[in-house]
Amino acid sequence: MSATVLPVFENLAVGDTVIERTVAFSRDTLVRYAGASGDFNPIHYRDDVAQSVGLPGVLAHGMLTMGVAASPVSEWIGAAGFVRDYQVRFTRPVPVDASAGASVSVTATVGALDPELRTARIDLKVMFGGQTVLGKSQLVVSFT
Amino acid sequence: MVNPDIQGRVYPPTQPYLVGREKVREFARAVLSSAPLHHDPEAARAAGYTDVVAPPTFPIVLQDFTLQQLLADTDAAVDFSRVVHGDQRFSYSRPIVAGDELVGTMTVTSVKQLGGNSMVTSSTEIVDGGGAHVVTAISTLVVRAEESA
């Protein structure tokens, strides 16, 4: 485990980009998430079932995308605080091709700071294929 | 169409859920997080926690038990094959750590009809073994209208 520098609340400024990351989803990612979360809806691992309900094919769980989008933020915060609030709107699905997978990008910027509560609102921009897949995606981090 | 009368309905508390260290690690791997606090008890203890800390979306595991209650309620008439997840929120008092024994209680806070679709918002209050609030999971499900024959 590499020693990382923890973020310091006083050093943050609104508009700072704190994370830019691209994450690769494969069918394996979806199956692993199904097992860990208990969400075994077959539209997340069977193309035939997905197509039978009018979808192009297997989709990522919305909650997988939501979870993965928060992970770089958790890694960045480390022991400097914790996620007090996290909300998203699921605006577009993420189809995951059986061989090509899907590439999702996550950008996190500082949206607001509250020096009294020592909280930072982190706004996430989560994109697939040039389009936003999570709307109004915000975390509130409480710094200790 | 979802029965609008379920607005305000409170479902029975779930069975106590014991958060396991390996479950936290498994979930963290599944959301592709390598944050030491999710995986390493020593790192978690150094940060002041008793054991590994769950990722922010972990309460979905408990919320799922409460949503199963809603889907099993025939009076509610929620057709799972037509359900799309609209939005999701987690509001914490403190992080979940391995060793917590958690109980969730769901309230249907709103049922709205919009262009044939139904929007069902539920709020699941999750408390620890001492009854103290840990996190509230709020979810809106969109139940798509049936195609007209």
Q: At what angle do helices A27-37 and B21-30 cross, to 10 degrees?
A: 150
Residue B10, token pair as written in the block: 């409170």
Minimal Cα–Cα distance from B61 to chain A, Å? 6
Question: In whole numbers, what is the pLDDT of chain B averaged over residues?
Answer: 95
Contact A74 B40 (CB under 8 A): no
Asked whether residue B94 is assigned to any structural domain, the reply reads: yes
- Higher-confidence residue of B2 and A124: namely A124
Q: Let me know if residue B64 belongs to a domain.
A: yes
Q: Which of B64, B97, B37, B39 is nearest to A73 (CA)?
A: B37
pLDDT of residue A127: 98
- Structure confidence at residue A9 (pLDDT): 97
Residue with tokens 């509610």: B76
Cβ neighbours of A82 in B, within 8 Å? 53, 92, 94-95
Distance from CA of A15 to the nearest CA of B (A): 23
| Spatial contact of B100 and B93, defined as CB atoms under 8 Å apart | no
Q: In residues, how long is chain A?
A: 144
Which residues, listed in sequence order, are joined to residue B101 by a DSSP beta bridge? B18
Q: How do the domains of chain A map onto residue ranges?
A: 13-25+62-143
Q: What CA–CA distance (Å, rounded) separates A105 from B108?
A: 34
How crowded is residue B39: how many other Cβ atoms within 10 Å of its Cβ? 18
Contact B31 A33 (CB under 8 A): yes
Total domains in chain B come to: 1
Of the ranges A114-128, B50-64, B70-84, B100-114, which one carries the lowest mean pLDDT score? Answer: B70-84
How far is the CA of B52 from the CAs of A70, B40, B43, B45, in angstroms?
17, 6, 8, 8
| pLDDT the model gives residue B149 | 42
Query: What's A19's DSSP letter?
Result: E
Its pTM stands at 0.95
Residue B15 belongs to domain with CATH number:
3.10.129.10
Our CA-based measurement puts residue B102 at a distance from the nearest CA of chain A, in whole angstroms, of: 16
Q: How confident is the model at residue A1 (pLDDT cuts 50, 70, 90)?
A: very low
Quote the CA–CA distance of A17 and A15 in Å, as a whole number: 6
Residue A53 is predicted with a pLDDT of 85
For residue B38, the surrounding DSSP H or E stretch is: helix B36-39
Partners of A112 in beta bridges: A121
Contacts made by residues A109-113, CB under 8 angstroms, sequence distance 24+: A109/A15, A109/A16, A109/A17, A109/A18, A110/A12, A110/A13, A110/A14, A110/A15, A110/A16, A110/A18, A111/A14, A111/A138, A112/A14, A113/A9, A113/A12, A113/A13, A113/A14
B93-135 pLDDT, tens digit per residue, is 999 999 999 999 999 999 999 888 999 999 999 999 999 999 9
Residue A117 has pLDDT above 80, yes or no: yes
Residue A1: its chain B contacts at CB < 8 A?
A: 36, 40, 43
Is the pLDDT assigned to residue A114 strictly greater than 60? yes
Segments forming the whole domain that contains residue B62 = 4-20+56-143
Q: Which residues of A touch B56 (CB under 8 A)?
A: 67, 70, 74, 83, 86, 139
- Is the pLDDT reported for residue B41 higher than 50? yes
Q: Which of B30, B87, B94 sits opposite A37 (nearest CB)?
A: B30
Task: Using a pLDDT cut of 90, give the percent of chain B over it.
Answer: 87
B146 touches chain A (CB under 8 A): no
User: What is the model's pLDDT at position B18?
Assistant: 98
In contact, A47 and A98? CB cutoff 8 Å? yes
pLDDT of amino acid B147? 66
- Our separate counts of H helices and E strands in chain B read 4, 5
Over residues A73-106, the pLDDT tens digits come to: 999 999 999 999 999 999 999 999 999 999 999 9
Q: Is A9 helix (H, G, I), strand (E, B) or coil?
A: helix
Sheet holding A131-143, edge to edge: A17-25, A102-114, A119-128, A131-143, A81-90, B83-92, B133-143, B117-127, B101-114, B17-18
Tell me the pLDDT tens digit for each residue of A19-67. 999 999 999 999 999 999 999 999 999 999 999 988 899 999 999 999 9
> Does A89 contact B at CB distance below 8 Å?
yes
| Domain A13-25+62-143 superfamily per CATH | Hotdog Thioesterase (3.10.129.10)
